[in-house]
Amino acid sequence: IFEGMKAYKHTDGSIVCFRPEQNAARFARSATRMAMPQLPEELFIGAIEALLSLDAHWVPDGPDASLYLRPFMFATDPFLGVRPSDTYQFCVFAAPAGDYFANGFKPVTVWICDDYVRAAPGGTGEAKCAGNYAASLVAQAQAAEHGCDQVVWLDAIERKYVEEVGAMNLGFVLGSGDDITIVTPKLTGTLLPGITRKSLLDVAVDLGYTVEERQFSVDEWREGSASGLVTEAFGCGTAAVITSVGAVKSSSGSWTIGDGSVGPVTERLRSALLSVQNGAAADAHHWLRKMA
């Protein structure tokens, strides 16, 4: 199991992390699902604090720069067989990070996958475990073959409700002007409960948008894009923060969202969250924790 989080250097030289207690809690939930021991929050956060104290010089400067952190835990019993291990190793990797996509903050094209599923009810979809990501690689290769940047995952039962995009949660913007609703697939046990997702929903409310967590079908996406009701779509996660979806391809056809460019709501959400993370805006929700 693993986590993904970032450390940011503020202008006063302090190093902060964004909601690390949420990562610790999700790490514990993932451990429970995978029959692994829960790591206490104080040990999880303490390990990251120790690493950042030693390697503070690796945290880059700049509003779009950060040190990506990868806490992970694996079994270490010298045993061949299928059973929970009695011993485990917990480690933290770190690497300086810039933009997640090589082209920067530009819209991506996504492929709707109906051949494979990421997770099924009762499975490990809400756990951040390596197997979920390994199982996605063949579908991501299929998306690349169709000229797409990411794959859109559908539900495992009816194959018609969107769940995630790549390794990110999904969001849709309905309406424009003063009448805007942000829709995101509800957490049903098959989606990763994203910390960026959760935070962006709070930011959306702060900005005066209506928020809905519910099922959202491919048909609603396609028809809404055609009618102009669906004006924007985006993926969100720790690595990319928020990524605009400009176009969709599928085995039954293709369509563009809005004019295919980054929409104003996506831009506003991204700017608001990044401003909190890099210290340019007030931390009204007390999301930042000083680590070094």
pLDDT classification of 99: cutoffs 50, 70, 90: confident
- 208 or 62, which is more confident? 208
Helix (H, G, I), strand (E, B) or coil at 225: helix
- Per-residue pLDDT of 263-292, as tens digits, reads 999 999 999 999 999 999 999 999 999 999
Q: Beta-carbon neighbour count of residue 105 at 10 Å?
A: 17
- Tell me what the mean pLDDT of segment 80-90 comes to: 97
CB distance 171 to 184 below 8 Å? yes
> What's the whole-number average pLDDT of the chain?
97
- Per-residue pLDDT of 25-83, as tens digits, reads 999 999 999 999 999 999 999 999 999 999 999 999 988 899 999 999 999 999 999 99
Beta-bridge partner residues of 159: none
Question: Over 80: is that where the pLDDT of 250 sits?
Answer: yes
CB distance 141 to 133 below 8 Å? no
pLDDT classification of 102: cutoffs 50, 70, 90: low
pTM of the model: 0.96
Question: Over 90: is that where the pLDDT of 103 sits?
Answer: no
What's the token pair of residue 124? 């490990």
For each of the domains in the chain, give its residue range(s) and CATH number, in order of start: 5-98 (3.30.470.10), 108-276 (3.20.10.10)
Longest dimension (CA), the chain: 61
What's the token pair of residue 291? 């680590």
- Per-residue pLDDT of 163-206, as tens digits, reads 999 999 999 999 999 999 999 999 999 999 999 999 999 999 99
Q: What percent of the chain has pLDDT over 70?
A: 99
